[in-house]
Amino acid sequence: MEELLLVTDPMDERHSVQFELISSLGMELKKRFNVTVFSTYISEDKEKKLQSRGLKVIKGKNTFWINKFLSVLGMKNESMLWVESWFREAYLGRNSKEAMEIGSFQKIINMSTTIPIKCDILWIQGRSFFFTLEDIAKTNSRIRFALFFFGRSVRKRDKRLLDYLIGNTKRVITNASYLSSFYESMGYKADGIIYTMKDFSEFKPRLEGEKSSVLTYIGKETDIEPILALARRGVKIKGFGGKVPIGISLSAIRDTIEYLGYVTTDQLIALYSSALFTAFPFTEEPFGYVPIESMACGTPVLSYNKQGPAETIIDGKTGWLVSSREEFIETALRIWKNGHEMKKDDCVARASEFRVENSVRKLISFLEA
């Protein structure tokens, strides 16, 4: 079999979106290839899990000093690993140097925008670093302040890195039509769209009694203000996730909602199943696992009518798509007070359309074209 390399952004010790993606993708691709995974940072537990699934692992040797410092303070999360990985390459060129030392492979798929490497497919999972920060800055004064002083430099470095990434791949794939349009507006043409994949087979409805709370995800892309506003107005909210939005105080979240932090898959399925609905406001979300996981458990989702969720949630059938914070809060309060008539079976049926096998089939067709 041919040797195939998967390149990914850092994988944290706890909940890791990168791990979910690589794990599902690697298990399918190893039916056709000998698969090796490379990243500049892979925690020991994620390394062992990947190896136990028959995947080879190569990880970077350099220490992530900011991550190490944040660990001491109890503030480490995957968002900051990604930030540090970007700075390591954009200003120091370290990631690309490590990638050059890992040897040769017959096929390479790069899913990282912080690790430049010559590859067959660059599968872009989100907006580039500067534009991600720019989106976050709309609702985060600290990031807005930082971009005021350093934004020009960051944008210049970000474009240089993006030019290098796209200039060293045969094909550019995005994980949502929204992203294809975004990159094409910047002059980068995408060759196709393949939805981000994950094995959702474990996510099924459970009988969890009365639906007496609203569930939300706390991550780097979460638009936290509507969530806090709803909690202050009496909505009982449970939040899960290990990636606190950049510049947001964890204590402010804990003081306002029932924050659960990292939860196991089994716990998460129970949370989805027992929620009246899942609230998913975001600053940027090219695709998003949360809406699909929630629908797979029979629970509708309230989110914004843009980007990834607008492609996965069916408005009025498997959830509600709104255009602003104000409409989000108003809709959530109405559902909390009056309930809803969304059908569990419709939600489950919609989630079933996003299967790993479909995405892998498309990915292999691009590799072999």
* DSSP track, 63-83: --HHHHHHHHHT---HHHHHH
Q: Supply the DSSP string of 19-68, one letter for each residue.
A: HHHHHHHHHHHTTTEEEEEEES-B-HHHHHHHHHTT-EEEE--S--HHHH
Helix axes 224-232, 325-338, angle to 10 degrees: 40
Residues 48 and 112 in one domain: yes
Residues 166 and 230 in one domain: no
Contact of 293 with 268, CB cutoff 8 Å: yes
Does a structural domain hold residue 334?
yes
Contact of 178 with 306, CB cutoff 8 Å: yes
Number of domains present in the structure of the chain: 2
Q: What pTM does this model have? A: 0.75
Specify the pLDDT at position 357. Answer: 82
- pLDDT per position as a tens digit, 96-127: 999 988 989 999 999 999 999 999 999 998 88
Does a structural domain hold residue 207?
no
Does a structural domain hold residue 226?
yes
- Along the chain (369 residues), what's the average pLDDT of each consecutive run of 10 residues? 94 78 89 94 92 94 77 68 92 93 93 95 92 83 89 96 96 91 93 84 85 90 91 95 70 87 92 96 88 96 95 96 97 96 96 86 89
End-to-end C-alpha distance for the chain, whole angstroms: 18
What residue numbers bound the domain in which 346 lies? 213-351
Residues 230 and 127 in one domain: no
Does a structural domain hold residue 204?
no
Region of 274 on the Ramachandran plot (φ > 0 left; ψ -120 to 50 alpha; else beta):
alpha
Contact of 86 with 114, CB cutoff 8 Å: yes
Residues 254 and 193 in one domain: no
Residues 173 and 233 in one domain: no
Residues 324 and 259 in one domain: yes
Specify the pLDDT at position 13. Answer: 77
What CATH number should be reported for the domain holding residue 48?
3.40.50.2000
Residues 301 and 180 in one domain: no
Residues 138 and 272 in one domain: no
Buried b or exposed e, range 143-166, using 16+ CB within 10 angstroms: bbebbeeebeebbebbeebbeebb
DSSP tag of 245: P
Specify the pLDDT at position 246. Answer: 62
Does a structural domain hold residue 119?
yes
Does a structural domain hold residue 268?
yes
Show the tokens assigned to 301.
Answer: 């989702």
Contact of 24 with 18, CB cutoff 8 Å: no
Residues 147 and 255 in one domain: no
Residues 188 and 221 in one domain: no
Residues 130 and 261 in one domain: no
Residues 153 and 218 in one domain: no
Does a structural domain hold residue 314?
yes
Does a structural domain hold residue 115?
yes
Show the tokens assigned to 144.
Answer: 């807005």
What are φ and ψ of residue 112, in 5° steps? -115, 140
